[in-house]
């Protein structure tokens, strides 16, 4: 098993694209990228910790390769927006790939370069690629939020503008 850690804005919206795929063994919403130990949701959201909301995926690379995870990641975000994602603004909602191995770093860099060269976006790709550091699971009420609070999740996702953006840029 390997780990993949992605920041794509609100972590609630980053769980569903990856769950129930072959080789995906678990997805945990949490925080990474900041210096504070054991950050809370309130502190992360307020920008007091330097962390970003992430999902950490445990996967079997022989069944679902990291390259495929990267493809799915790019298709969930606006990689040209350094100020957050959709209606969620601020550094805690930035996009970032946290690599766990040198091979993951290489593959992430290659995928970013390929996306930039594709011409799909008319602005630069600003998603950072960073060595993974400590990961802190989010509070229990954030885990599988889309299942615990389906109506609120659906309403929040619809209001965010994420789906309209993804449809526009990835519909084919």
Name, in order, each residue with C-beta under 8 angstroms of 29's C-beta and a sequence gap of 6 or more.
11, 12, 14, 15, 53, 54, 55, 137, 138, 142, 143, 145
Which residue's structure tokens are 């389906």?
A: 150
In whole angstroms, what is the distance from residue 140 CA to residue 128 CA? 28
- On the 0-12 / 13-18 / 19+ scale of CB atoms within 10 A, 37 is exposed
Given 10, 15, 44, 57, the catalytic residue: 10
Assess whether 10 carries a catalytic annotation: yes
Going by C-alpha positions, the residue among 49, 27, 28 that lies closest to residue 38 is 49
In whole angstroms, what is the distance from residue 137 CA to residue 114 CA? 31
In whole angstroms, what is the distance from residue 96 CA to residue 117 CA? 19
Active site residues: 10
């Amino acid at each position: 098993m390997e780990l993949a850690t992605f920041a794509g804005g609100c972590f609630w919206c980053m769980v569903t694209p990856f769950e129930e795929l072959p080789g995906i063994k678990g997805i945990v919403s949490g925080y990474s990228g900041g210096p504070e130990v054991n950050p809370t949701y309130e502190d992360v959201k307020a920008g007091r910790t330097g962390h970003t909301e992430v999902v950490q995926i445990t996967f079997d690379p022989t069944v679902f390769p990291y390259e495929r995870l990267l493809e799915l990641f790019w298709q969930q975000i606006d990689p040209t927006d350094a100020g957050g994602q959709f209606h969620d603004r601020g550094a805690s909602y930035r996009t970032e790939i946290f690599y766990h191995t040198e091979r993951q770093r290489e593959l992430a860099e290659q995928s970013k370069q390929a996306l930039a060269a594709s011409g799909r976006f008319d602005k630069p790709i600003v998603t950072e690629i960073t060595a993974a550091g400590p990961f802190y699971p989010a509070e229990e009420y954030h885990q599988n939020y889309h299942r615990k609070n389906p109506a609120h999740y659906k309403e929040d996702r619809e209001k965010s503008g994420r789906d309209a953006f993804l449809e526009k840029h990835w519909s084919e």
